Amino acid sequence: MTTKKVLIVDDEERIRELVQVCLEELGGWATLGAASGQEALQIAHTESIDVILLDVSMPDMDGFAVCEQLQANSVTQSIPVILLTAKVQPSDRARFAQMKIAGVITKPFEPLTISQNVAEILGWGD
């Protein structure tokens, strides 16, 4: 079985770095990082991605816009998306419920279990 490839989208460099470490070292997966929505869409089109971990609050193009773009394209619409976000208010949750996403992980996330959380959301068995 080939190892999973995760695309991490977050404008914060250190958070990207940390998520990548958690998923690589503790989850055993391969990761790619994107600092913006634009970059994320490019990578999603050219690489074979198993799941996208997507931040919501990003300048220029936010997570909502990225999701829309992913859905609008036949190449990318089947890639599962998990939001990784600091937006936790009821109004935010309501908005997330309207989106075609696999799940939401809130920040600050638990570093030692995030890869498990991702696997659980996506039903990736052991």
Partner 1 sequence: MAVHQDITDRKRIEDALRESEEKFRQLAENIQAVFWMTDLHNQQVLYVSKAYETIWQRSCQSVYQNFSDWLEAIYPDDRQRVDIAFMEQLRTGQSDTKYRIIRPDGSIRWIRDRAFPIKDELGEIIRIAGIAEDITELQKVEQIKSEFIGIVSHELRTPLTAIRAALGLLNSGIYDNKPDKFKRMIEIASIDSDRLVRLVNDILDLERLESGRSVLEKTTCEAADLIEQAVESVKAIAKQEHITLIQHPTNTKVWAAADAIIQTLTNLLSNAIKFSPPNSTITLSVQPQSDRVLFQISDRGRGIPADKLELIGIPADKLELIFGRFHQVDASDSRDKGGTGLGLAICRSIIEQHGGQIWAQSTLGVGSTFFFALPLPRK
- Residue 59 binding partner 1, by CB under 8 A: yes
Residue type, 33: G
Q: How far, in Å, CA of 86 to CA of 56, rounded?
A: 8
- Residue 111 binding partner 1, by CB under 8 A: yes
- Residue 83 binding partner 1, by CB under 8 A: no
Of these, 58, 66, 67, 81, which contacts partner 1 (CB under 8 A)?
Answer: 58
Q: What SS3 state is found at 55?
A: coil
Which residue's CB is nearer to partner 1, number 53 or number 76? Answer: 53
Handedness of CA 84, 85, 88, 93 (dihedral sign): negative
- Report the candidate in 6, 76, 59 with the shortest Cα–Cα distance to residue 67: 76
Scanning 41-49, 71-79, 94-102, 110-118 for contacts with partner 1 by CB under 8 A, the matching segment is 110-118
Of residues 19 through 38, those in contact with partner 1 by CB under 8 A are 19, 21-22, 25-26
- Other C-beta atoms within 10 Å of 60: how many? 9
Of these, 87, 99, 103, 122, which contacts partner 1 (CB under 8 A)?
Answer: 87
